[in-house]
Amino acid sequence: MKKIAVIGGGPSGLFFALMARRRFPNVAVEVFEQNPFSATFGFGIILAEGGLGRFRDADPEAADAIMAASYITRDRVFSHNGEAINIEGGAYGGAIARIKLLNTLQDLCHARGIPVHYEQRIENPDMLDADLIVGADGVNSVVRRAYEGQFGSSCWYLTNRMAWYGTTTHFPSPILSFKTTKFGHFWAAAYPHSETTSTFVAECDADAWARSGLNRMTAEQRMAFSEQIFAGELDGQPLLSNRSDWISLPVIRCKNWWVGHRVLIGDALHSPHPSIGSGTRIAMEDAIALIDALADYADDLPRALAEYQRRHTPETAKLVDAMEKSYEWYEQVGEKMDSMDAITLAFDFMTRTGRLSPQRLYREYPKFMQKYETKWNAWQASRSQTETVLAGV
């Protein structure tokens, strides 16, 4: 292999290019990115703890630079119709501005002499002269779309709506706030990603989307409306937009991860759901798995690509399964908000993916579990009292 072309200079494409340069110093690697340097959408992202160790093994310099640029918080606050519950515990809580993550990776690409061609949108991947084309071009991937049938890709849309805003409101800890309004069910996840700016992801279900009239508003009107709905959480501060608008998220999956000399990684291969804070981690781990397979079968590209899919499927499946359980939970959250009190909803939320067993909850969030148990015991006691009364009737 002499030449690799990476389409997409997001986290997965840049991280792949960095590792490719280290592992295959004699192979030419270049990245094509449609956006100008230092431009992107959205605000901060949470980098889930589990992935950081792998980033460090794969590229210690990049992992250290990402850690150094992250903003760490502890604990979080869960609130339901104004009743707030502090959830102390959990491990690493790092968030980073998406642009800071990209700049960190871009700087390293520059330092390692990897050409990143900004403002170059690739419309037809087959126009590129390369032995390997890496489709790291996100949910709307042109690589995937060009070979939809062969990739066996499917796409459908969730019914909830969300917008990725920022705000200058400082949240000492990340918050997750659910509220029932006269228009229906709304919720927001917010966390600081720097000393001065926080990420604010606002969401609602399909019913609230229509009843509130959000479906008929302009992007500016939607932002103003969101500021009113979440005025309490925002402490009166405005929202910030970075190409932010309300969208319904696609669910994209592919049966085949490679077609000929074209291979997909990151969101191009499997779209994320932000609620488990792992889209970037999954995307960057795809890049690591692809590099490892290419290194093991350097002289046999089809074998390397087949091994990439075969070896990496089980690990990806675990995270994708967690993501699916999480978006299914959010798709039904309106009913849960109507029937559960704050602590019960918080417990239901924390156990929604099945990855946090009760034992782990007791270990990592003992104070929260104490509060939950107190509530549960009170409920059991009142139920047995009611049963005794009914038995006597």
Nearer to ligand FAD, 123 or 338 (CB): 123
CB proximity list for 376: less than 8 A, separation 6 or greater: none
C-alpha to C-alpha distance for 45 and 48, rounded to whole angstroms: 9
Residue 119 Cβ vs ligand FAD, minimum distance, rounded to whole Å? 9
Q: Which of residues 106-125 bind ligand FAD (CB under 6 A)?
A: 121-122
* Contact between 33 and ligand FAD per CB under 6 A: yes
Span interacting with ligand FAD, options 26-34, 83-91, 105-113, 358-366, rule CB under 6 A = 26-34
C-alpha to C-alpha distance for 331 and 273, rounded to whole angstroms: 12
* Contact between 7 and ligand FAD per CB under 6 A: yes
C-alpha to C-alpha distance for 37 and 6, rounded to whole angstroms: 16
According to CB under 6 A, which one of 5, 18, 34, 55 is a site residue for ligand FAD?
34
How many H helices and E strands in the chain? 15, 18
- Asked if residue 269 lies in contact with residue 151, where contact means CB atoms within 8 angstroms, the answer is no
* Contact between 93 and ligand FAD per CB under 6 A: no
According to CB under 6 A, which one of 4, 5, 6, 12 is a site residue for ligand FAD?
12
- Asked if residue 206 lies in contact with residue 159, where contact means CB atoms within 8 angstroms, the answer is yes
* Contact between 242 and ligand FAD per CB under 6 A: no
C-alpha to C-alpha distance for 250 and 230, rounded to whole angstroms: 25
Nearer to ligand FAD, 58 or 342 (CB): 58
C-alpha to C-alpha distance for 59 and 109, rounded to whole angstroms: 12
How big is the site for ligand FAD, counted in residues (CB under 6 A)? 33
Residue 54 Cβ vs ligand FAD, minimum distance, rounded to whole Å? 13
Nearer to ligand FAD, 167 or 278 (CB): 278
According to CB under 6 A, which one of 4, 201, 208, 239 is a site residue for ligand FAD?
201
Residue 204 Cβ vs ligand FAD, minimum distance, rounded to whole Å? 14
Nearer to ligand FAD, 325 or 375 (CB): 325
C-alpha to C-alpha distance for 26 and 20, rounded to whole angstroms: 10
* Contact between 334 and ligand FAD per CB under 6 A: no
Q: Which of residues 132-161 bind ligand FAD (CB under 6 A)?
A: 136-138, 142
The separation between the first and the last C-alpha atoms of the chain, rounded to the nearest angstrom, is 83
Torsion angle, alpha carbons of 336, 342, 343, 348, to 10: 20
Nearer to ligand FAD, 277 or 334 (CB): 277
Beta partners for 336?
Answer: none
The DSSP secondary structure of 325-386, one letter per residue, reads HHHHHHHTHHHHHHH--HHHHHHHHHTTTS-S-HHHHHHH-HHHHHHHHHHHHHHHHHHHHH
Nearer to ligand FAD, 122 or 190 (CB): 122
Nearer to ligand FAD, 96 or 343 (CB): 96
Nearer to ligand FAD, 164 or 178 (CB): 164
Q: Is the dihedral of CA 209, 215, 217, 221 positive or negative?
A: positive
* Contact between 203 and ligand FAD per CB under 6 A: no
Nearer to ligand FAD, 322 or 340 (CB): 322
* Contact between 270 and ligand FAD per CB under 6 A: no
Give me the residues that bind ligand FAD (CB under 6 A), please: 7-13, 32-35, 42, 45-46, 121-122, 136-138, 142, 162, 164, 201, 266-267, 272, 274, 277-281, 283
